[in-house]
A and B are shown apart, each in its own frame.
Chain A
Amino acid sequence: MKFTLSWLKEHLETTADLTAILAALNRIGLEVEGVDDPAARLAGFNVARVISAERHPQTDKLQVLSVDAGDGGPLQVVCGAPNARAGLIGVLGRPGAVVPANGMELKVSAIRGVESNGMMCSVRELELGDEHDGIIELPGDAPIGMAYADYAGSDPVIDVSVTPNRQDCMGVRGIARDLAAAGLGALKPLHEAYRMAALAPIAGAGPAPDVRTDDPAGCPAFFAQAVSGVTNGASPPWLRAKLIAVGQKPISVLVDITNFVSLDLGRPLHVYDRAKLSGPLVARRARSGETVEALNGKTYTLTEAMTVIADDAHVHDIAGIMGGALSGVSEATADVLIECAYFDPDHIARTGQALALTSDARQRFERGVDPAFLDDGLAIAVHLVLEHCGGTASAITRAGSPPTTPRTVVYDPALAQRLGGLEVAPERQKTILQSLGFGVAPDWTVTVPTWRRDIDAAPDLVEEVVRIEGLDKVASVALPRADGVARPTATPAQKLERRVRRAAAARGLNEAVTWSFLPQAQADAFAEGNGFLWTLANPISEDMKVMRPSLLPGLLAAAQRNLARGADSLRLFEIGRRYLRGENNRSDERLTLAAVLLGDKTPRGWASGKAAAFDAFDAKAEALVLLAEAGAPTSNLQVMGEAGGQFHPGQSGTLRLGPRTVLARFGMLHPATLAKFDIDVPVAAVELFLDAIPAKRGAGEFARPAYAPPALQGVTRDFAFIVPLALPAGDLVRAVRSADKAAITGARLFDDFRGAGVPDGHKSLGIEVTLQPGDKSFAEAELKAIAERITAAATKLGAVLRG
């Protein structure tokens, strides 16, 4: 919401200066978004008179001026303007001033050997227009030495951000009222601001216009008055200047008057050219499929939910949002109908959203204009039309009735302290509320002014009192603190997330945070099945369209960007949610960790020679370590297949707890997957499904189970078995390990050999078994029996002990 300082002062009798007004606006909740103060922009540019003008000794194109700046001896200024001459009164920029057009700071300088103490400026240099044929020429009575901004009548433009609850401040008068309440002056009577004798309906002559409302829900009230015999042309300078200052384009005086009243009073109006209407003008529901060409040149298709203003032949207005092109006024317009209506805010909001059409009128109506201001609004509009366009007013039609019954709120002044934390004397509270237009009864029943639709409960009044009294007066009060040391507050899931994140970083992985949304193709490539994806209806771009079903695509995209920048080794991970569609269209968001390893695992080096690459076992190692940190029972995990089509079919797997609970997938990614990300180097990847890790049973005790290290040292025995190539080594290790649960405490595979001495289609697996004696050392016979049990267990899998 923009307005100028002088505009504000038409409603506010004040001696406060700009700085004080800006500070007050911020203090009372009308945030100042910007100020364009010509006085600041034009600081250092003053009215000055050229005393004499001589040719520059070096060139014909320049003159050396002697300038009277009004504050001492004449100044020497070099000037290239053709109109520079003795006697001219213009605008001098002194050293230190900044030229608005180019941001250059003026300095004392030598121009072709002659000192120049400033610059005589053109209109364009001061950004006052496009003219650049010569320097500014001011009338002969312009006071020498005066700041040019003061001479030109500088009027700062203030831009405030009006929050959606404050419709009343979508007009300059509402802002003035708030400032007056805040002690910045007095609100002038409205009729004075419009130079009217009194604010009363203008009694016209002749028949009242034929308007009615057939849609009392959407348009509870439709007031109208006609003016015949008007002359529509350019607006008077004061009106044009106001509109231009706040960024509006003057169109014609009839249109400008409606825009001005809307900006000044927050009261939108509409003017129809009566010559283009046929029959009565009716507020009604649109017919489904009905179309209207609006004033913005676009055609809108309407629905039965929308209110329109129509005559017998056409729709002329999308009610409260935008007028129609058919009945807009032009220079030829002679008879007008002025509409001042009350439209239901919810209807306006829904229609505006459905049509995706915003306008100044919609903004005001959907926030709720003052329902008690229809007569006044119409009177002001007709007064301005008569004043500037001539003509004769008709009688007034008042169709329907606006909801003007004022709300009351039961208030307790003690609430200012209880909720606002600010002690304000009841009398002072009463004064504040009254200055904002509230009525305060002795029993503190507060009547809400009709223009404050946002107020409907006592806390709203607390806000009014506190914001006017000053939020800065609210003192800090400590929250009560529980006795003792602060208690832990994180949930097990939160602790797990934090722990695994730091564990991954401690493993040498770098955490990334990537977008939650993906391009469709990437999401499809990682989708777990059909219909599981969440797709945005209004994505910001096609690259951010579908919620990620996996964290790997985001990491791969990040990896690709790094590769393109020349990175040669990447270990990226992310912890976050992947998004699945749950039952009944519910969101199923699962905490997941993903990591990608690519490029050099170790770089080429003086000791190791060539660079080493990552392989599937690097991914497996991360999976196991991080699952262990997450509290998963890693010793019970099984390596199984089915990591998914995104992975290398022969170098990937899942880690499962039982056949169905998948805790992780890992391995090398499929080259076809990588191709979708423009990655042409192998990538090892792991994804941990942290949500699937079962909660630890009996967690919560600090005490560990009792343990004392065994007195006797463990012994190791090596076994080598010839097994078919297809037998997973893990199966053999598991069988060996379970061969004697009492004695065997470890079985570790140390060799996988194929080739000389091993039959075709077979491999030799070496396993180191750790045996832990109890009270006594193993006897030879015991060791022999254990070895036999191990061999028997292996034999069941088709293994043959190597001799």
Chain B
Amino acid sequence: MDIAALSADALSRIAAAGDGEALEAVRVALLGKAGSISALLKTMGAMSPEERTARGPAIHGLRETVTAALTARKDALASAALEARLAGETVDLTLPAPETPRGSLHPVSQVMDELAEIFADMGFAVATGPEIEDDWHNFTALNMPESHPARAMHDTFYFEAAEDRQADAPQMLLRTHTSPVQIRTMLDVVSRHPGGAPLRIIAPGRVYRSDSDATHTPMFHQIEGLVIDRGIHLGHLKWTLETFLKAFFKRDDIVLRLRPSYFPFTEPSVEVDVGWTLNGARRALGGDGDAPGCGWMELLGSGMVNRKVIAFGGLDPGEWSGFAFGVGVDRLAMLKYAMDDLRAFFDGDARWLAHYAFSPLDVPTLSAGVGSRA
């Protein structure tokens, strides 16, 4: 046979090999010790140099062609076998993946973090105080002496006296507002740095009133703000509230209406209304409350800190002035995130939490924004 015929015959046998075993048999028949191409290669030893020069390349070429064809065929057979195996391993990917629980933060916590972030940018530190307070911090030091009529407005929870209570022990109660933290913070600062001020704090936390109906719960959350410095006046209060509310609600059109009011611990005292606009059927804060179809919502109480309160805090009211405000955290959360039922806040209903609560990664930051979009 000539080389060309040999080559054609070998390639067709390789192509016809259906599996690895058959292919190996072909390889042995061609390139094994007794293989036909091996035999041809052996004939080259007996050739004259001229003949080897003439026929050698063709013989070597034949071997290379066949070797390459064997390798290619082997790879093809292996690949086909792998595909066949994988085809048998098909799974239904519409089946559900393992479930991982989704944890969440309560709206009150989220909003408190948001407020801390906003006020940190304005230089306010976060202060805390006890919820089980004494009469003096909750009332007397806030310019509400024992017979003060304003005490009656507070619906206070009182504690039973301990059996071993000393005669002069203070009457303990659940704080009715976060304002006692004003006194505690001033006294604390004064004790550490004589002279004390200036200071800027917010004090978030639980407060209690013996009141329960559709819009009041006996426990709720408040945030207190206090600024003590030289030359502080009502204009600073207004700016601070405007700035905070604009940042919190992320609206530049927040309009405040200040109304004279009365709190024993501030003088002058100011009730703050915020204009709302109808967004569908819902009142959304923003816009001028006097515009047609709009209105005012009473949001918070505030004022210039009463001189007596500054003095109770250990500071000289002749030198220092300041403002304070208190606002409901639950209320802010409800207004911002469109929640209607205050009582649901304290029920722990997993369905409500799944709908209204926040991802732990919704960390309020100044760069990413304080607030989580629905």
Contacts and interface: CB of A to CB of B under 8 A. Distances in A.
A37 to B, nearest CB: 17
A463 B150 contact: no
A349 B149 contact: yes
A589 interface: yes
Interface residues of A, number: 103
Contacts of A539: 157
A502 B357 CA distance: 12
Contacts of B128: 494
A554 B146 CA distance: 34
Contact of B257 (A349, A472, A511, A577): A472
Contacts of B165: 585
B353 interface: yes
B109 A346 contact: no
Interface in B128-155: 128, 130-133, 146-150, 152-153
Interface stretch (A191-199, A383-391, A481-489, A765-773): A481-489
Contacts of B160: 535-537
B162 A581 contact: yes
A607 B231 CA distance: 70
A777 interface: no
Contact of A421 (B162, B227, B235, B260): B235
B348 interface: yes
Contacts of A504: 103
Contacts of A166: 262
A516 B159 CA distance: 14
A346 B233 contact: no
Interface residues of B, number: 98
Contact of A505 (B99, B105, B164, B218): B105
Given A459-B267, A475-B235, A562 B258 contact: no
Interface stretch (A23-31, A51-59, A677-685): A23-31
B236 A477 contact: yes
Question: Which of B119, B210, B233 has the largest count of A CB atoms less than 10 A from its CB?
Answer: B233
Question: Which of B121, B259, B269 has the largest count of A CB atoms less than 10 A from its CB?
Answer: B259
A502 B105 contact: yes
A802 interface: no
Nearest to B363: A502
Contacts of B366: 486
B132 A587 contact: yes
Interface in B180-211: 200, 206, 208, 210-211
B147 A535 contact: no
A284 interface: no
A569 B128 CA distance: 35
Interface stretch (A63-71, A412-420, A664-672): A412-420
B102 interface: yes
A26 B103 contact: no
Contacts of B347: 558, 561
A349 B149 CA distance: 7
Interface stretch (B20-28, B71-79, B238-246, B274-282): B238-246
B350 A349 contact: no
Interface in B44-85: none
B312 interface: no
B119 to A, nearest CB: 8
A335 interface: no
Contact of B261 (A29, A418, A608): A29
A289 B283 CA distance: 56
B231 A506 contact: no
Interface in B323-374: 345-351, 353-354, 357, 359-361, 363, 366
A168 to B, nearest CB: 13
Given A26-B259, A31-B271, A538-B210, A565 B239 contact: no
Nearest to A555: B348
Interface in B104-131: 104-106, 108-109, 113, 116, 119-126, 128, 130-131
A512 B356 CA distance: 12
Interface string A461-497: 0110011000110111111011000111111001000
Interface in B255-273: 257-262, 267-271
Interface of A: 26-29, 31, 163-166, 345-346, 349-350, 353, 363, 366-367, 417-422, 454, 457, 459-460, 462-463, 466-467, 471-472, 474-479, 481-482, 486-491, 494, 498, 501-517, 531, 534-540, 544, 547, 554-555, 558-559, 561-562, 565, 567, 569-572, 575-577, 579, 581, 584-585, 587, 589, 602-603, 605-608
22 contacts: A29-B259, A163-B262, A164-B150, A421-B236, A466-B268, A471-B260, A474-B238, A475-B235, A476-B239, A477-B238, A487-B123, A489-B119, A489-B124, A501-B109, A501-B360, A505-B104, A510-B103, A536-B159, A570-B350, A571-B103, A579-B131, A584-B169
